[in-house]
Each structure stands twice: as structure tokens, then as C-alpha cells.
Chains A and B, each alone.
Chain A
Amino acid sequence: MAATEFTPIASAAGGALIGVSAVMLMLLSGRIAGISGIVGRLLPPYGQSGIPEAGAFVIALLAAPIAYAAVTHEAVVQAVSSNVPLMVGAGLLVGFGAGLGGGCTSGHGVCGLSRLSPRSIVATLVFMATAMVTVFVVRHVIGGAP
């Protein structure tokens, strides 16, 4: 568990960009910028409106690191666990939980909090709490690497 550098300015700037994106979608298209909701529209069962728009959003999201590298000539720094069973389990929980709970960090955490939605406020408090407990247990109780 290596420390990472505290980056308040870059993080606030990145957060502001996320906000600009969310405002753009609402102001122009009347949509919530919730990633699990947008990706969900591309998965069965189909029938929701806005599937082409969701496809355009996801393709552009996937293009973001390529655009970032092309403009800045800097590699994107990241450290990802290569523990395959752990990452598969984490992915299943994130996808299933976001689907069942009707949103993720963006839909509940950014857009929902900004609408002062009681459901989103509760969801954000719950997932922040279980995420912190999970990291505490993994790192300080079990003492594992991730």
C-alpha cells in the first residue's frame, strides 16, 4: 500500500471538468450523467430511450485516455491490482450494486447530491461507508496488498 501524492489542484480541476460534463448533459439533453445508467442503457433488457446517445458517450469516454496522451504527451499514471479473482469479484459487485442501487459514484455521488436527492444522499453515505470499511478490513485487519 504505497502512498500516493496529494494533488488538490489537479483533482479539483478534474472534478470541475466532470461537473462541466454533467451540467452540459442536463442543460442541453436533460440527462443525468450517471455512468452506470448510461452504460446500462447499452445492456439488456433494452427498451430505454437514448441508446445512440449512450453509445456516443461511452465511446468518447473510452477515447479520453488516448486524447489525453495525444495532447499532453504524458502517460496516465495508475496502479491496478493484477489479482484476477479479486478484480473479477470487485467488478461483479460494482456492476451489480450500481444496477440494484440505481446509480454509482457519478449518478448518485455527483448528479444526485447536486439535485439534493434524498435517495442519492443515502446511497452515497452507504457506499462511502462500506468502501472505507472494506479497505480498512483488507489493509489493516487481514493485512493484504490491495
Chain B
Amino acid sequence: MNIPVHAVAGLIFGIGLIVSGMANPAKVKNFLDIAGTWDPSLAFVMGAAVLVTFLGYRVAFRQGVPLLAERFNLPTKSDIDRRLLIGAGLFGIGWGLGGYCPGPALAALPLLAQGTLVFVPAMLVGLAVARRAAR
């Protein structure tokens, strides 16, 4: 049952990205451009997403276990190390340059914009290299 759950969740996530405007790099870069053509829309995306998730997680964690799995699969790291800081820093630079983070880039792939078609393979290479380095 976890495979259909993931399929439905992926579809809802992708529709959410498109409806919200996150799949439009111009809108993302304008959100980041407070000194210029600022578009605060993405604060509403983050705000609504975090609000719903925060409340829903409280319900989920109160159950003790997930309904269709044996346990919650949560990150175990708790230290704020150099990897976290450098990784997040580099991620932000790439996000600012391209206007894409991983979810929107994938959801926009079938729209076949040239920039997306080169961004996504590069992103997958970068992710695979980091995973190998982290092993």
C-alpha cells in the first residue's frame, strides 16, 4: 500500500508546486529579489505548507506509528556540522542562479524548457556525487 500512497502524494505535491507558482523560476527569483522586482508569493507557499504540515505531523506523531508502516523513518542526525552549512550554502547559490530547487525542477521537466532539460541531469549528477562523498 505504500507504493500507491507515494504515487498519490507525488501527484498532490507536484500539483501543489504548479498551482503555487514554485515551478516558475522567474517567480522564485523575484521572491528572492527583495531589492528589485520582489514577489512575496512564495512566502505564502512556505507559510501554508509549513502550517498544514506542522498540524498534520502532530496528529501523525500522536498515533505512535504510521498507519501503513512499522515505524516513522525520521532523520537521526542532530548536530549542526560543516556539511550541513556548506551544503545548504551551495544549495542556495544554485537555487538563486537557476530559480529551481529539486521538486519544481522535476515537476517542470515535462514542460521541456531548454533550461530545465539541462538543469535536471546536472542536479542528479550533483546529488549522486554528494551521496558518494558522504558514504
In the assembly, what is the distance between CA of A31 and CA of B123, in Å? Answer: 22
Residue numbers in A under 8 Å from B20 (CB-CB) = 10-15, 17-18
Q: Assess whether A99 is in contact with B94, with CB atoms less than 8 Å apart.
A: no
Chain B residues in 8 Å Cβ range of A103: 75
In the complex the two chains form, is B118's CB within 8 Å of A88's CB? yes
Chain B residues within an 8 Å CB radius of A33:
9, 13
Q: What does DSSP make chain A's interface, helix, strand, loop or mixed? A: helix
- Please classify how large the interface on chain B is, using the bins under 10, 10 to 19, 20 to 34, 35 or more: 35 or more
Q: How far does the alpha carbon of A80 sit from the alpha carbon of B83 in the complex, in Å? A: 30
* Residue from B15, B73, B108 with most neighbouring chain A CB atoms (10 Å): B15
B residues less than 8 Å from A97 (CB atoms): 86-94, 126, 130
Interface residues of A (CB under 8 A from B): 1-8, 10-33, 35-36, 39-40, 43-45, 49-50, 52-54, 56-68, 76-84, 86-106, 108-115, 117-119, 122-124, 126-136, 138-140, 146
Given the known A-B contacts A39-B124, A97-B93, are A81 and B25 also in contact in the complex, defined by CB atoms under 8 Å?
yes
